[in-house]
Chain A
Amino acid sequence: EVQLLESGGGLVQPGGSLRLSCSASGFIFSDYAMSWVRQAPGKGLERVSSLTNGGDQIKYAESVEGRFTISRDNSKNILYVQMNVLRAEDTAVYYCVKDGGDHGRILYPEVWGPGTMVTVSS
């Protein structure tokens, strides 16, 4: 069974930093693209960032470009996102998502973790 578990969320002040991690199990992590998707309270889903299985193709939403950095460690089956210069509008539940595309491509979100809450507030 595919399992994804996010960690690292919490309360941070505006301008601060946070690193989220996602531990993956139940599938060959190095075969699949992964993404971070967020959902602000009471709002819809927003793709934050994605990367292919080997990390050679990386995409960011315009809203986080230059502030967030996605990465992965295929030897440890862990996905990361480093979030810097956080703003109030970054407050959201952040989901780790396994992609359903074959050959490690980014195509569509398939399996979701339970999410971790990030709150940016003074």
Chain B
Amino acid sequence: QSALTQPASVSGSPGQSITISCTGTSSDVGSYNLVSWYRQDPGKAPKVIIYEGTKRPSGISRRFSVSKSGNTASLTISGLQAEDEADYYCCSYAGFGTFVFGTGTKVTVL
């Protein structure tokens, strides 16, 4: 199982929108509506911000939205804020009781 591909870094100015892509294969992202997204602050454990493709846990801002096309899922952060600076990981169910993570993206707010 290979890791899903994410850009190493994405940056934007406050108020702008940025999009993080997550590219897998027809065996994972392309086959299931089960992509989840995580935010990880330095020295902390990851925290889920999107699960089961489109669902947001309680307390997660609606500025975080998702989409999917073929083997690529995307996370868009609208109205970028300084507090959005963190590492972001995608994760997809890959069948047979397995899941695979993305390579991770560092978001920088300029």
Any A CB within 8 A of the CB of B18 = no
Contact A59–B98 (Cβ < 8 Å): yes
Any B CB within 8 A of the CB of A44 = yes
Please, which residue of chain A has its CB at the minimum distance from the CB of B55? A100
Any A CB within 8 A of the CB of B109 = no
User: Total contacts A to B, CB within 8 angstroms?
Assistant: 67
Contacts of B38 in A (CB 8 A): 45, 109
CA distance in complex: A50, B98 (Å): 8
CA distance in complex: A3, B45 (Å): 13
Contact B91–A108 (Cβ < 8 Å): yes
Segment among B60-68, B72-80, B99-107 that sits at the interface with chain A: B99-107
Contact A100–B51 (Cβ < 8 Å): yes
CA distance in complex: A105, B93 (Å): 11
Contact A109–B96 (Cβ < 8 Å): no
Q: How many residues of A contact B (CB 8 A)?
A: 25
Contact A44–B102 (Cβ < 8 Å): yes
Q: Say whether, besides A44-B3, A112-B45, A106 and B52 are in contact (CB < 8 Å).
A: no
Contact B45–A113 (Cβ < 8 Å): yes
Please list the 5 inter-chain residue pairs (A to B) with the smallest Cβ-Cβ separation, ordered nearest first: A112-B45, A106-B97, A45-B101, A44-B104, A108-B36
30 contacts between A and B (CB under 8 A): A37-B101, A44-B3, A44-B102, A45-B38, A45-B104, A46-B101, A47-B99, A50-B99, A52-B97, A57-B97, A59-B97, A95-B45, A95-B46, A100-B36, A100-B48, A100-B52, A105-B97, A106-B98, A107-B34, A107-B52, A107-B93, A108-B34, A108-B48, A108-B51, A108-B52, A108-B93, A109-B36, A109-B48, A111-B48, A115-B45
